[in-house]
Structure formats: structure tokens, C-alpha cells
Amino acid sequence: MNFSQMHHERNSLALKRCKSYSFDVNQQAESLVKWDQHYNQHSQGRFSGYLDELNFGGMHLFEEYTNQTLLQHCCVNEHNIWLGFSLQKQRPKINGTQIEEGQLMIRPSGVEFELITPKEFHIYGLVLDKRVLQQELIGLDADLWLNESAKILVSEPNTRVSYELAKIIGLMLHDNTPFSTVLNHNKGGERLKRLRPVISSAIADLLLQTETGMREIEVSAPAKRRVLERIRDHIEKTGRYPLTTTELCQIAYASRRTLQYCFEQELGVSPIQYLRDCRLNEIRRILLNTEEEVVISNLAVEFGFYHISTFNEHYKKLFGETPSQTRQRARLYHYKR
């Protein structure tokens, strides 16, 4: 049983209302329900984050905070639609497209997407069961929001809609609100069932205000995106991380200059740093998730770190702790589970 399963099962009785704190990007990724996701950390320092969420009646509302730059590979579970947005100045990117203030990111289930979130980042999210939307939308509205062939969509900037959606989520999640009083009442479930149609109708009303100017983001974008996709496809198919710029150029069919430009424009890091971060994140996942004794030096060599002192230095700089400290933390983590 992983962290999120344990956490949500413990809270499955009172409408699945819970708030969880994380010390690691993998733990943060596990905590989201209705998702299949994979997080990599790409800025230096200890990670901390939290997920505050409520799951009821086909609606999953949440606020997520992460303190480090993350590259997230995400896919919404079947029969759901995800909407994400942020009210702060730091802007995320979805599939290489920067999202402006007041824009909603919309992703129907079934197609993976990539989200880059900056440091000290709050994001609001709603995962809606399509059956909930079917009850609220008819005709052309339903065609737009329930279309199975739809790709990633973004709305035109509309700060009023995003603030109103954030207000609904805040009322549901935060303490000392009328909703929290209902949740804490011993008959809160029955009362909230009566409120659900009101909430879902209010959300549908706001979504309809974003339809004008809605546009699609290509899952496979041209040029510089294809360079990155070739490298990721190679890693996924072979299970091997390239170690030199020459290897990267050969895999991506790109010059050194093009390679450098693509990574800096899309991810904000050099190609070599990106791959080193990916290898370090993979090692960290192994150290955290295996209950067997692992020889850290052997693991480092397996992932292309042939100088152990340099490996330890890079690892501590990225994660704010040594590999040995991660393993000690993992023992406590498994013990608690």
C-alpha cells in the first residue's frame, strides 16, 4: 500500500476530505487521486509541498503547493476532465505553452500532458466526472466539454472566472466557512449531497463563460518540442539515459546549438543538467521505494555516475540531503506505511 492509498483509505469515511504534507516529489505525486502522474525535481533544495482536497459526488477539488521547480508528466483517469489554474504571478507551462493569469488549462482523460511548475507554486484544480457535467450541459456546450477526441485546451484569460472558481474551492477546503461547518457535522454527508447540485451548477455556469476563444494545444508540437520528445522516447524505450551531448545530438537529430536552445527555451536548463537531474530523481525513487538493501555506490554507477564524491555532491545540491539520509528517511517512511 503506497502513501496515498493509506492516506485516502483512512479518510474515506467523511467524504474523503484530507490534507497531506510531502517531503518528496514522489510522495507528492502519489497523493493525488484520479491521476496517473510522475514528478521530477529540477531546482535545488529540500522539497516540501501539500495537497488539500475534497472528493465527493463526482467532483474532486484541490489546492496543491510545491516549493521547487517540477516537471510533471500527467494523465487524468478515464471518464474525467481536469481543469487547472493559478492566481499567482509565477506562470506554469503546459506542453511548452506558458499559461497566462486567468487562463484555465483543460485536459480530458486519456492523453498524457506535461506541466512545468515554477518554485513556490500554488495551483487549483478540479477533476470532474463527465457524468456530473452531462447533468449540467446540453447541446453545443456538452459537445465542447465532453468530446472524447478533444486535445489539451486553454481558455482566453478571464481573471473573474478563475477567481470565482478559486472562491468555490476555498469555501470547500478552508476552515471556518459554512462548508467546513457542514463537513464537520456528524450528518455532513447528507447535507453536502443536497449542496452538490448547487455547486456543480455554479461550476458549469463559470465554465460556459470561458468557451469564447477556447483554443487547442497540440500534444505533439513542432520543432523544438520534437527534439525533446525524441530524447524522452529513447529513454522510455531503452531505459538508458544518454551521458554526453554527442549522444543527445545523435538521438534528437539536432546540432549542439539547436539542442541547447530547445532545452533552455522549453525547460530552462541545459541538456546535460536536465539529464543529470532525471538520473538523480530516478535514483531517489529507487532509494525511497525499495525495501531491500541497496548499495548506493553501485546504484550511482548503474546510472552513469562514476565518481562517487561528485555524485554525492550533485545529489545533495539538488535534494538538500545525502543519498544515505534519503535511505534513512525511506526506512521511516516504510515503517509508517
| Interatomic CA distance for residues 100 and 154, integer angstroms | 10
**Same-domain pairing of 179 and 268:** no
> Which residues are CB-contacts of 163 (< 8 A; sequence separation ≥ 6)?
87
Number of domains in the chain: 2
**Same-domain pairing of 184 and 330:** no
**Same-domain pairing of 97 and 246:** no
CATH of the domain at 274: 1.10.10.60
Low-confidence ranges of the chain (pLDDT < 50): 1-14, 219-220, 335-337
Show which of 184, 217, 250 is a domain's final residue. 217
| Interatomic CA distance for residues 63 and 169, integer angstroms | 8
Q: Which domain holds residue 301?
A: 224-336
**Same-domain pairing of 131 and 249:** no
pLDDT of residue 11: 36
**Same-domain pairing of 103 and 17:** yes
Cell of 249: 545530438
Cell of 107: 485536459
Packing angle between helix 256-266 and helix 245-252, nearest 10 degrees? 90
Show which of 195, 217, 239 is a domain's final residue. 217
**Shortest CA distance to 70 belongs to which of 32, 19, 109?**
32
3-state secondary structure of 30: helix
pLDDT of residue 118: 92
Cell 494545444 -> residue:
217
DSSP state at residue 14: T
Q: What is the pLDDT of residues 222-236, one digit of tens each?
A: 566 788 888 888 888
DSSP state at residue 113: E
CATH of the domain at 155: 2.60.120.10
Other beta carbons within 10 angstroms of residue 147's beta carbon come to 11
**Same-domain pairing of 12 and 152:** yes
**Same-domain pairing of 193 and 254:** no
Bridging pattern class, strands 113-117 and 70-76? antiparallel
**Same-domain pairing of 188 and 331:** no
Q: Report CA-CA distances (Å) from 149 to 9, 146, 153, 169.
A: 33, 9, 12, 28
**Same-domain pairing of 66 and 173:** yes
pLDDT of residue 298: 92
**Same-domain pairing of 161 and 310:** no
Show which of 199, 217, 235 is a domain's final residue. 217
**Same-domain pairing of 89 and 126:** yes
**Shortest CA distance to 106 belongs to which of 162, 67, 26?**
162
**Same-domain pairing of 206 and 292:** no
